Structure 1
Amino acid sequence: MGLDAIKAALPEYAKDIKLNLGSTIATSTLTPTQAWGTALACAVAGRNPEVLREIAAEAADHLKPEAVEAAKGAATIMAMNNVYYRAKHLIGDEQYQSIPARLRMQIIAKPGVDKADFELWCLAVSAITGCGVCLESHEKTLRNAGFSREQVHEGLRIAAVVHAAAVTLDAKAALA
């Protein structure tokens, strides 16, 4: 169950991902809430059912129920925000910046967990979806909240590995 099940499901060509799964999450310098919340938010963003089920099961051992909900909330709000803000940025017309989003984002104001942890989860999801505007915004908020570059870096490492596991298992299933 959990990370061990994901590692067992990964094909031999993904050996590096197997090794990195354990070393990024289990030995992270982040708090368990930060690391497992990041992993869970990224598993939601990764969209692979097996990765999501296994990480959610193991994360439940490390997170309070409100942190589980907040991590899932971070992934879902960023699914919307990353598309919206990335698109406005990529259009390249500055006039779009003055148009209000008019999209509900209440969870950002009251995530149910430490605001900085929620920001970390949003940053990690933004790394997966590739929204530069959101990455910059969340990194700045984290740094202003006292997070070190190393802590931000840890969140990015977890995002990269969880996403790679999801992509690999999607490809394995598609080619089976």
Structure 2
Amino acid sequence: MSIDELKGRIPDFAKDVRLNLSSMVLDESLGEQTRYGLFLACAVATRNSRVMSAFEALAVEKMTPAAVAAAKAVATVMAMNNIYYRFVHLTSNKEYGDMPSRLRMNVIGGPGVDKADFELWSLAVSAINGCGACIDSHEKVLQDTSVAATTIQTAVRFAAIMQSVAVAIEAGNATMSVA
């Protein structure tokens, strides 16, 4: 599925989402690998097969196979970490924070792409998944490596747009099946 086909699936009630998607795809404020990896990691995080398909088709044209794999790895390892660390952060029993997580996440140590890209993608996926602890952790690493606040904000804005695209498409599908 192409991005244009994806836009065509966004219902008219979500015109702003369609416009935001168009703006996001045309935004060149981030480097190519950073941008397309961000698109793919966020698309996978939405768990919407149409969104994933469209952005994977775009990413494989612009990224190396290793970078594509890294973007997918971000979404999958953050799916695990965001659940676990959100629990640790939200539970009133702070004992869990002192326990080892016992979760394998070797990809974080050797993601196959620039560490800043991996952290930026992880931050965006953590925003989609709603893990405050992970958001804080990845944002701190990015700030410590001198990634500009505008770059961080752009990544989270893209995550917000990507999630809204997935929701709009699902809402449109539900509306069509009821009619």
Report the TM range for the smaller structure's normalisation: over 0.9
Q: Which 4+ stretches in 1 moved above 3 angstroms?
A: none
| Correspondence for 2:92 | 92
- What is the 5 A alignment of 1:42-57? 42-57=42-57
- What is the 5 A alignment of 1:137-152? 137-152=137-152
How far has the Cα of 1:22 moved from its partner?
Answer: 2.0
| Correspondence for 1:103 | 103
Structure 1 alignment gaps of length 5 or more: none
The two structures have a TM-score, normalised by structure 2, of 0.95
How far has the Cα of 1:28 moved from its partner?
Answer: 3.6
| 3-state SS of 2:103 partner | coil
Once residues 78 and 93 of structure 1 are traced to their aligned partners in structure 2, the CA distance between those partners, rounded to angstroms, is 23
> What is the one-letter code of the residue matched to 2:51?
V
Contact 1:25 / 1:36 at 8 angstroms: preserved in 2?
A: no
| Correspondence for 1:66 | 66
| Correspondence for 1:2 | 2
How far has the Cα of 1:25 moved from its partner?
Answer: 3.2
- Count of equivalent residues: 176
> What is the one-letter code of the residue matched to 1:118?
F
Aligned-residue Cα RMSD (Å) equals 1.1
Once residues 55 and 31 of structure 1 are traced to their aligned partners in structure 2, the CA distance between those partners, rounded to angstroms, is 16
Larger deviation: 74-83 or 23-32? Answer: 23-32
Once residues 157 and 48 of structure 1 are traced to their aligned partners in structure 2, the CA distance between those partners, rounded to angstroms, is 18
- What is the 5 A alignment of 1:10-89? 10-89=10-89
How far has the Cα of 1:10 moved from its partner?
Answer: 0.5
Once residues 147 and 25 of structure 2 are traced to their aligned partners in structure 1, the CA distance between those partners, rounded to angstroms, is 18
Once residues 50 and 106 of structure 1 are traced to their aligned partners in structure 2, the CA distance between those partners, rounded to angstroms, is 29
Contact 1:86 / 1:131 at 8 angstroms: preserved in 2?
A: yes
Contact 1:42 / 1:124 at 8 angstroms: preserved in 2?
A: yes
| 3-state SS of 1:60 partner | helix
Once residues 31 and 2 of structure 1 are traced to their aligned partners in structure 2, the CA distance between those partners, rounded to angstroms, is 21
Contact 1:25 / 1:158 at 8 angstroms: preserved in 2?
A: no
How far has the Cα of 1:89 moved from its partner?
Answer: 0.8
Contact 1:35 / 1:158 at 8 angstroms: preserved in 2?
A: no
How far has the Cα of 1:167 moved from its partner?
Answer: 1.0
Once residues 25 and 111 of structure 1 are traced to their aligned partners in structure 2, the CA distance between those partners, rounded to angstroms, is 24
